[in-house]
């Protein structure tokens, strides 16, 4: 049995998959299996996956109909054999010491999970680093709940936002299976997974080095238009509220309003995504309607967002001042520069 199972969902990923897989094969720690989940790709991804499996017995391939990244990850977890579960996205890649540093931290501290820092990689090749979720070293379940889980709920606006991503962590397969922890949905699914896993009370060993490379691209899921974003966000917010109650996560009194404002800013940006339908006048009308939508209305009326980046601060100010026409024009100009 391999010590670590790495789950890599791939949908039409022929342009980046080789780099991702080779970063696994280049790991200093070699006791792993790689599960390539071909999620109904229509390009050359399937052939690439089969080729990798033919070359390396540690690589297995699951071919399936396209159901989205959550189902692909769940299918990978279901067949994984390793004691620990790691994740990798098809357009990202590991540093060579990613697995060795994480497994060494687990062994040193006897923790139930591990986490590391990561690097944003931009199209021009530049990088910027983000620290591990908590400082380097061992953290108790209480420290993780207060220092990692709570920010995933309470502070979704600030410049120092805690990014809710799974690929910076190692998870216990036993804990995932015993508690039936699974992914759901196609957007914001990582945050719910993290809150449920760590909300149960899991210790964490942190390696405060950027060991994962996170590619920033306009073609990524975070830059696409999502027709059902508001409904998806509403379901996620209610799911978070249920987890808060279930696991007694410490939250601020206004955590829902903070989260709702974060969702409102994303929803407005989504309206003006290049692929979004409708003319400018329709988008302006829809942006105005978002502010009275039950999902966002209370926060819009009663909560003043602060501590944000410059761009978010400008958008929030235009929304609060009801300057919807000017906001639409600014987004139009911004999109033309892309």
Altogether, the residues listed in the chain come to a count of 338
Is the pLDDT at 335 greater than 90? The verdict is no
pLDDT reported for residue 62: 98
Is the pLDDT at 224 greater than 80? The verdict is no
pLDDT reported for residue 219: 55
Is the pLDDT at 221 greater than 60? The verdict is no
218 band by pLDDT with thresholds 50, 70 and 90: low
pLDDT tens per residue, range 139-168 = 999 999 999 999 999 999 999 899 999 999
Mean pLDDT of 90-111: 97
Beta carbons within 10 angstroms of residue 287's beta carbon: 23
Cβ(119)–Cβ(128) below 8 Å: yes
Cβ(225)–Cβ(270) below 8 Å: yes
Mean pLDDT of 185-210: 93
Phi-psi region of 185 (alpha: psi -120 to 50; beta: other; left: phi over 0): left
Give which of 153, 246, 140 is closest to 201, Cα–Cα: 140
Mean pLDDT of 204-227: 84
User: Angle of helix 324-336 relative to helix 310-320, nearest 10 degrees?
Assistant: 150
Cα of first residue to Cα of last residue in the chain, in angstroms, is: 48
pTM summary value: 0.93
pLDDT reported for residue 180: 97
274 band by pLDDT with thresholds 50, 70 and 90: confident
53 band by pLDDT with thresholds 50, 70 and 90: very high
Is the pLDDT at 237 greater than 90? The verdict is yes
- Residues of the chain with pLDDT > 70: what percent? 98
pLDDT reported for residue 338: 60
| Distance in angstroms (rounded) separating the CA atoms of residues 252 and 200 | 19
Is the pLDDT at 217 greater than 90? The verdict is no
pLDDT tens per residue, range 253-269 = 999 999 999 999 999 99
User: Angle of helix 280-290 relative to helix 324-336, nearest 10 degrees?
Assistant: 130
Structure tokens belonging to residue 274 = 């290049």
| Distance in angstroms (rounded) separating the CA atoms of residues 331 and 180 | 42
Is the pLDDT at 220 greater than 80? The verdict is no
DSSP for 168-227? TEEEEHHHHHHTT----SSSSHHHHHHHHHHHTT--EEEEEEEEEEEE--TTSGGGS--T
- Tell me, rounded to whole angstroms, the distance of Cα 228 from its chain centroid: 18
* pLDDT mean across residues, the chain: 95
Mean pLDDT of 53-77: 97
């Amino acid at each position: 049995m391999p010590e670590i199972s790495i789950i890599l969902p791939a949908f039409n990923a022929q342009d980046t998959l080789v780099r991702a897989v080779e970063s696994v094969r280049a790991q200093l720690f070699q006791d792993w299996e790689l599960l390539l989940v071909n999620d109904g790709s229509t390009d050359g991804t399937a052939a690439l996956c089969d080729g990798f499996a033919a070359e390396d017995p540690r690589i297995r391939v699951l071919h399936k109909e396209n159901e989205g990244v959550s189902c692909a990850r769940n299918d990978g977890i279901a067949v994984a054999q390793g004691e620990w579960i790691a994740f990798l996205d098809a357009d990202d890649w590991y540093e060579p010491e990613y697995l060795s540093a994480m497994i060494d931290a687990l062994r040193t501290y006897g923790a139930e999970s591990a986490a590391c820092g990561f690097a944003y990689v931009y199209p021009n090749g530049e990088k910027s680093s983000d620290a591990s979720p908590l400082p380097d070293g061992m953290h108790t379940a209480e420290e993780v709940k207060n220092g990692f889980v709570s920010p995933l709920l309470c502070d979704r606006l600030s410049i120092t936002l805690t990014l809710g991503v799974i690929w910076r962590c190692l998870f216990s397969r036993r804990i995932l299976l015993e508690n039936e922890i699974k992914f759901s949905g196609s957007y914001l699914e990582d945050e719910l997974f993290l809150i449920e896993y760590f909300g149960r009370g899991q210790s964490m060993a942190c390696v405060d080095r950027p060991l994962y490379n996170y590619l920033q691209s306009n073609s990524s899921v975070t830059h696409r238009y999502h027709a059902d974003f508001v409904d998806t966000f509403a379901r996620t917010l209610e799911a978070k509220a249920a987890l808060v109650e279930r696991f007694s996560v410490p939250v601020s009194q206004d955590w829902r309003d903070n989260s709702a404002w974060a969702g409102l800013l994303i929803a407005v940006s989504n309206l003006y995504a290049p692929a979004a339908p409708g003319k400018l006048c329709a988008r302006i009308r829809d942006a105005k309607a978002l502010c009275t939508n039950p999902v966002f209305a209370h926060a819009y009326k009663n909560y003043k967002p602060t501590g944000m980046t410059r761009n978010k601060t400008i958008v929030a100010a235009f929304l609060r001042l009801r300057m919807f026409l000017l906001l639409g024009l600014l987004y139009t100009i911004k999109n033309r520069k892309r």
